């Protein structure tokens, strides 16, 4: 499969919407980029679908469009022409397409303003979004232990979620079960613990599959920032990429230590 205009469009979408993840993918060999850019482009398109309109029915229809596209991929027949769906259909196994349908379904929470019911509900949402995407990305590249992938994805998902809290609150959502400083610190610590647990079992993830996990290269730093100062979340003082961060990413990739 050539790196054609569709893949270039996927890469451009990731670069604009998720520059940290774009840098991570660009640090990998071209064959891995061909798999990861369509998957991460899908994630971006689905994540933003609930926010393009205030009309809940239209938002539901937009998510349904992606569910229908993934259903076509999982069926193994004719797949609609689309700059993300077309290259995705060439790299995504039918079983993984079915799993990603669950990711799209979970994004229905973003349409409405109901808070999470409890910790279990919140964790299911993170697992169905971050967990399904990272698991599908890794398993599209090689062999990997599912539990390790889920632990790693939870840490990455929480780091990204905490970065998004100010915008979610501005859109009148209730993103956290406990928005106090201590509650935010405990959530970040739980996420960091799972991230470290995954890294302690790095041997259970093949080098090929591990390439997908470099997409979470900033998570540890972000979570440690929150643990040290939870007010960073509400103030929107998380994220950003400087020269030192870029060098740290390159070092991780060269050592194969996601």
What pLDDT tens digit does each residue of the chain (258 aa) get? 457 999 999 999 999 999 999 999 999 999 999 999 999 999 999 999 999 999 999 999 999 999 999 999 999 999 999 999 999 999 999 999 999 999 999 999 999 999 999 999 999 999 999 999 999 999 999 999 999 999 999 999 999 999 999 999 999 999 999 999 999 999 999 999 999 999 999 999 999 999 999 999 999 999 999 999 999 999 999 988 989 899 999 999 999 999
Cβ neighbours for 151, distance < 8 A, ≥ 6 positions apart: 194, 195, 197, 198
Smallest CA-to-CA distance from 92 within 35, 33, 28 is with 35
In the chain, where the domains are located:
1-111, 113-258
The DSSP secondary-structure symbol of 114 reads P
Give the C-alpha separation, 224 to 222, whole Å. Answer: 5
Residue with tokens 């349409």: 111
For residue 144, the cross-strand partners are: 205
Q: What per-residue confidence (pLDDT) applies to 239?
A: 85
Both tokens of 200, joined, read: 């302690």
Residue 218, phi then psi, degrees to nearest 5: -95, -10
Give the C-alpha separation, 32 to 211, whole Å. Answer: 7
Q: What angle do CA 150, 152, 154 make, to 5 degrees?
A: 65
Both tokens of 148, joined, read: 């390790």
Q: What per-residue confidence (pLDDT) applies to 250?
A: 96
Could you tell me how far CA 75 lies from the centroid of its own chain?
A: 24
Q: What per-residue confidence (pLDDT) applies to 2?
A: 56
Q: What per-residue confidence (pLDDT) applies to 1?
A: 47
Both tokens of 58, joined, read: 């239209």
Give the C-alpha separation, 10 to 119, whole Å. Answer: 34
CB atoms within 10 A of CB 30: 9
Predicted TM-score (pTM) of this structure: 0.96
């Amino acid at each position: 499969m050539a790196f054609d205009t569709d893949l270039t469009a996927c890469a451009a979408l990731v670069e604009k919407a998720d520059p940290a993840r774009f840098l991570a993918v660009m640090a990998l060999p071209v064959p891995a980029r061909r798999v990861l850019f369509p998957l991460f482009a899908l994630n971006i398109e689905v994540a933003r679908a609930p926010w393009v309109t205030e009309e809940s029915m239209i938002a539901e229809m937009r998510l349904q469009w992606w569910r229908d596209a993934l259903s076509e991929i999982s069926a193994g027949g004719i797949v609609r022409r689309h700059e993300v769906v077309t290259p995705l259909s060439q790299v995504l196994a039918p079983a993984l397409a079915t799993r990603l349908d669950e990711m799209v379904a979970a994004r229905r929470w973003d349409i409405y303003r109901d808070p999470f019911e409890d910790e279990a509900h919140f964790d299911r949402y993170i697992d169905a979004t971050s967990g399904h995407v990272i698991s599908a990305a890794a398993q599209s590249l090689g062999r990997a232990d599912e539990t390790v992938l889920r632990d790693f994805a939870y840490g990455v998902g929480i780091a990204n979620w905490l970065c998004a809290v100010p915008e979610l609150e501005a859109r009148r959502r209730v993103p956290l079960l406990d928005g106090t400083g201590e509650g935010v610190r405990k959530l970040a610590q739980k996420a960091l613990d799972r991230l470290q647990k995954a890294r302690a079992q790095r041997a259970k993830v093949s080098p090929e599959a591990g390439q997908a996990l470099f997409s979470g290269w900033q998570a540890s730093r972000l979570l440690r920032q929150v643990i040290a100062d939870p007010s960073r979340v509400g103030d929107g003082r998380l994220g950003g990429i400087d020269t030192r961060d870029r060098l740290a990413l390159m070092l991780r990739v060269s050592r194969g230590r996601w």
